[in-house]
Amino acid sequence: MVTFPIVRMRRLRRTETLRQMVRETTLTVHDLIYPMFVVPGEKQRQEVASMPGVFRVSVDELVRDAEEVARLGIPAVLLFGIPERKDEWGSEAYDENGIIQRAVRALKRAVPDLVVITDVCLCEYTSHGHCGVVRETPSGFEVDNDATLELLAKTAVSQAAAGADIVAPSDMMDGRIKVIREALDENGFAHVPILSYAAKMASAFYGPFREAAESAPKFGDRRSYQMDFANKREALREIALDLEEGADMVMVKPALAYLDIIALARERFEVPIAAYNVSGEYAMVKAAAKMGWLDEERIVWEILTAIKRAGADLIITYFAKEVAQRLRAQ
């Protein structure tokens, strides 16, 4: 009878100290980006029903929250704006006195070292809720790709002029990175990097976000411009095209159901990769924890570690503050 020696894998798992010494993936506060929603008015703090612990806040409250974020050591925030009025063209997105532009100026005055990332899209600002200019066709309505590009470029330039450190186009229009890069360069903002939502899936995980940002489409859906979630090769092509056009960093969104895309992107591209732990992922954990079905702290740590292990350099997550507090306590 042939016998084989037992491979003793468990020797280095016996104690927490040993496990920490050989741990391959370590989550740090520098990996985190905290998303924030800004609304008009003063002293506004509206909890999002489907996202417990997440609030839509006015600019004065935003500053206070951002100061807390900075104290926790979180390096960056990602801003989404809900305007005072919406129109067919999303004009408040590129208004120099728009909600995001005011928020950026306030944050850079109050917390100058905090990196402020701004979402570049029209969906929160249009009356129809789509990410671009809508035109009528014989078969119905569709988003006009090329007509949208100019407005996206105007939005990015106005945000950079307000002081945004990074602009993040999330619209998924073809060619938008090239147009935005050229507009930034021509207007004196060559130093402002672009974080492209390069592989953004047409996902059901965005539901709570659309409540928070008041950005649900009034008709149709976004599958004609956001990616088919079944396609892996197409996701890598989207990333490659955005990098060719001038993106400095790329994003995969959502994160948890697309760890394979994150891993493949990490293997292929030598640029920083962000992953968005989106609203639906957050809401599911919160709901299960409320019912006592999951240990929230442990599951959040596991999820975010998995996203980083897959290859993400940056993780956008609504859990950022809780994780930062835990890291500080360690």
Predicted confidence band at 284 (pLDDT cuts at 50, 70, 90)? very high
List, for residues 263-273, the tens digit of each pLDDT value.
999 999 999 99
Q: Which has the closest alpha carbon to 201: 128, 256, 149?
A: 256
Predicted confidence band at 8 (pLDDT cuts at 50, 70, 90)? confident
Could you say which of 86, 154, 200, 308 is catalytic? 200
CATH superfamily of domain region 9-329: Aldolase class I (3.20.20.70)
Could you say which of 86, 154, 253, 286 is catalytic? 253
pLDDT at 190: 98
List, for residues 17-64, the tens digit of each pLDDT value.
999 999 989 999 999 999 999 999 999 999 999 999 999 999 999 999
pLDDT at 164: 98
pLDDT at 138: 75
Catalytic residue flag (residue 218): no
pLDDT at 1: 60
List, for residues 94-129, the tens digit of each pLDDT value.
999 999 999 999 999 999 999 999 999 999 999 888
Average pLDDT, the chain: 94
Percent of the chain, pLDDT > 90?
82
pLDDT at 94: 96
Indicate whether 139 pLDDT > 90.
Answer: no
Task: Show the 3-state SS of the chain.
Answer: CCCCCCCCHHHHHCCHHHHHHCCCCCCCHHHEEEEEEECCCCCCEEECCCCCCCEEECHHHHHHHHHHHHHCCCCEEEEEECCCCCECCCHHHCCCCCHHHHHHHHHHHHCCCCEEEEEECCCCCECCCCCCEEEEECCEEEEEHHHHHHHHHHHHHHHHHHCCCEEEECCCCCCHHHHHHHHHHHCCCCCCCEEEEEEEECCHHHHHHHHHHCCCCCCCCCCCCCECCCCCHHHHHHHHHHHHHCCCEEEEECCHHHHHHHHHHHHHCCCCEEEEECHHHHHHHHHHHHCCCCCHHHHHHHHHHHHHHHCCCEEEECCHHHHHHHHHHC
The answer to whether residues 166 and 220 touch, using CB atoms and an 8 Å cutoff, is no
pLDDT at 209: 84
Spell out the domain ranges in the chain.
9-329
Catalytic residue flag (residue 286): no
Indicate whether 9 pLDDT > 90.
Answer: no
Average pLDDT rounded to a whole number, residues 294-310 = 97
Indicate whether 140 pLDDT > 80.
Answer: no
pLDDT at 225: 84
